[in-house]
A and B are shown apart, each in its own frame.
Chain A
Amino acid sequence: DVKVTQSSRYLVKRTGEKVFLECVQDMDHENMFWYRQDPGLGLRLIYFSYDVKMKEKGDIPEGYSVSREKKERFSLILESASTNQTSMYLCASSSRQFQAFFGQGTRLTVV
């Protein structure tokens, strides 16, 4: 079974903190994604990566950055967390074909 693991299920951070969300996949997938999920808005793509050290902006990259130093790991970084970044964050991976596989999600609260 494909496994996509996110480092935390729940996270509470203070405004202005630098926040790291980690995601690891074990299927040698080329593509990895970070989505933000908010009620009524569905899944919005923040960034994706199609290879090591390669990244592309999604629909809502402002306030976020990413890092992919190894194929299996894709990190989302909130440089200075703000309350409007309180949300559910979903990591996913996929091969060049077919479906995406998702992690369990990280519910981030910024206070």
Chain B
Amino acid sequence: AQTVTQSQPEMSVQEAETVTLSCTYDTSESDYYLFWYKQPPSRQMILVIRQEAYKQQNATENRFSVNFQKAAKSFSLKISDSQLGDAAMYFCAYRRRTGNQFYFGTGTSLTVIP
């Protein structure tokens, strides 16, 4: 069974600084997707960034980037120039390319300190 582990229940970062959220996963598949989702307080869960396992290049979306280490089964999210609006719960998720199900980690609560 696929499992996704986020070992940091809570993190904090100073505004304008950089923070990295960790995620590891367990799978025997070679072709899959990885995602980071953001859930602001009392608001809808939205996709932050997506990585396809067959792509060696790390995905980047503006201030958000990932460090995808396929052999180590690691998928960390780096947030640069942190803003107050980045404060949220962040979930890492996995999906087999040919599967229907998504597997989520337990989340990391990020606080941004002004």
Contact = CB atoms under 8 A, between A and B. Distances in A.
Interface of A: 31, 33, 35, 40-43, 45, 48, 50, 56, 58, 90, 92, 94, 96-105
A31 B100 contact: yes
A102 B91 contact: no
Interface of B: 6, 9, 33, 35, 37, 43-47, 50, 91, 93, 97, 100-102, 104-107
Contacts of B91: 42-43
B32 to A, nearest CB: 11
Given A42-B91, A92-B102, 16 more contacts: A35-B104, A41-B106, A42-B105, A45-B102, A48-B100, A94-B100, A94-B102, A96-B100, A98-B33, A99-B33, A99-B50, A102-B44, A102-B45, A102-B46, A103-B44, A105-B45
B104 A43 contact: yes
A40 B109 CA distance: 10
A100 B102 contact: yes
A58 B102 CA distance: 11
Nearest to B9: A40
Nearest to B33: A98
A99 B47 contact: yes
Nearest to B52: A98
Contacts of A42: 6, 91, 104-107
Contact of A33 (B33, B37, B50, B102): B102
Contacts of A97: 97
22 contacts: A33-B102, A35-B104, A40-B9, A41-B106, A42-B91, A42-B105, A42-B106, A42-B107, A43-B104, A45-B101, A45-B102, A58-B101, A94-B100, A97-B97, A98-B33, A100-B93, A102-B37, A102-B44, A102-B46, A103-B44, A104-B43, A105-B44
Contacts of A40: 9, 106
A103 B46 CA distance: 9
Nearest to A90: B45
